[in-house]
Amino acid sequence: MLILNYNAPVDSLKACVASVDASDYPDLLEIVVAENGSSEHHDSARAVAAEFERARVADLGRNWGFASGINRGLAECRGDWVFVLNNDTEVDSHALSACAEVLRGQPAECLAIVPKLLFLADRHLIDAIGIAVDSGGSAFNIGIGQLDVGQYDRVERTFGPCFAAGLFRREAFDDAQVGPLDDSYFMYYEDVDWNWRANLFGYHFVTAPDARVYHVHSAASRNLDYSFKYRHIERNLLATVLKNFSGRRALRIWAIRMAAHLRNLLRGRYPVATIRIVAEAIARLPDTLAKRRAVMRRRVLSDVEIVRFSHGEGVFFEPATYSPQRTLQNLTAMYKRKAMVTGDARWLAVGDMAHALDTVRLRFEPGFISSRLLPLLEGEPDYIHEFVRGIEAAQ
């Protein structure tokens, strides 16, 4: 187990470590808390590790960022498998065992297992069932903002894990396989880039829906000015698409993104961050192009096969409020996918009804949505019924 720690208060870090220590996984060897140069709560890692026999601190000396912090933390770990975990999470007692059970049944080409990541404050709400990339190079969390109604409850291929939580073969980070995370990213998109390379090289990932991990979404950055996050996401997106997409598609995305940044600059939207995005992306070009050449030499998968992982998936989440979108579109997505996973026509009827309601003005009549949907949802948990009523109230 590797937990990268930065600025976690004692209570939250202890809750994370305690949840791991309480795991029913019999082969848990150690809990490595990699202290990544916290600027606050400097003593949290040592104070918490002292309370758990299997926990120890690997002091990384300074803040290396997420990518390099994970790389350095992995070097401190023993064992052939490593569960990588954010410090703002808690794991269900069966999560590690569930991931291990799935990994044992996979070939060596499967490099990691993707757990079901749920919100810590609302454990019915999905944060991620792995991540995906669309045709424009934008990455997003699969399932984010949807309620967990069983629509992802099958072991299936996915683009790769969100590095907030995942069980990895440690050898995957060797140069002979995928290699380490790209240190130049500092934070954001480093997991996207790593997963992308893994897929391009012929490796794959699968989900473990019975493995539940509870996460505080964007805990490390939600108190920072958004321009910091915006800068790192946008500059790292440019590097990622250039390294991993085919040349024509990568150039088209660069042209579109650079034009958008120019418009932002003219409109005064994050002007300093925008200048830095463009300047840093251009300054990194020699390094990015060298890495691209190395990736392309080993590439065995097409752009189409990469983008396919995002097919039919959507984002139903309000980043400003960290809350789900209470919409009929969200409900439609939940239940149409549940119908496909279970083969039960009942859930398709719910999805079809939600979609139909979205197309008629009758939806705005008080009580009309509930009158059509709640009878179809009889027997579903109360939080589903509350979600339907929330859709009605939000109109």
Packing angle between helix 247-267 and helix 271-283, nearest 10 degrees?
A: 150
Contact indicator for 229, 188 with CB cutoff of 8 Å = yes
Which token pair is 364? 């705005």
pLDDT, residue 321, reads 81
Is residue 32 classed as helix, strand or coil in its secondary structure?
A: strand
pTM for this prediction: 0.94
How far, in Å, CA of 280 to CA of 278, rounded?
6
**CA angle 285–288–294, rounded 5-degree value:** 140
pLDDT, residue 220, reads 59
pLDDT, residue 13, reads 97
Residue with tokens 């840093």: 280
Q: Tens place of pLDDT for every residue, the chain, 395 residues?
A: 999 999 999 999 999 999 999 999 999 999 999 999 999 998 999 999 999 999 999 999 999 999 999 999 999 999 999 999 999 999 999 999 999 999 999 999 999 999 999 999 999 999 999 999 999 999 999 999 999 999 999 999 999 999 999 999 999 999 999 999 999 999 999 999 999 999 999 999 999 999 999 999 766 555 667 788 899 999 999 999 999 999 999 999 999 999 999 999 999 988 999 999 999 999 999 999 999 999 999 999 999 999 999 999 999 999 878 889 999 999 999 999 999 999 999 999 999 999 999 999 999 999 999 999 999 999 999 999 999 999 999 88
Which token pair is 389? 């009523």
Q: Residue 155: which of 96, 83, 89, 105 has the closest Cα?
A: 105
Residue with tokens 């009158």: 371
pLDDT, residue 219, reads 61
Burial group, residue 314, by CB count within 10 angstroms (0-12, 13-18, 19+) = middle
Q: Residue 196: which of 281, 130, 122 has the closest Cα?
A: 130
pLDDT, residue 223, reads 62
Packing angle between helix 328-342 and helix 345-357, nearest 10 degrees?
A: 160
How far, in Å, CA of 83 to CA of 99, rounded?
9
Which token pair is 86? 């954010």
pLDDT, residue 22, reads 97
pLDDT, residue 224, reads 67
pLDDT, residue 320, reads 76
Burial group, residue 150, by CB count within 10 angstroms (0-12, 13-18, 19+) = middle
Other CB atoms within 10 A of residue 37 CB: 16
Which token pair is 292? 């691209």
**CA-based end-to-end distance of the chain:** 45
Packing angle between helix 285-298 and helix 226-244, nearest 10 degrees?
A: 50
Which token pair is 222? 């939600």
How far, in Å, CA of 194 to CA of 190, rounded?
6
Please report, to the nearest 10 degrees, the dihedral formed by the alpha carbons of residues 120, 125, 127, 128 taken in order. Answer: 130
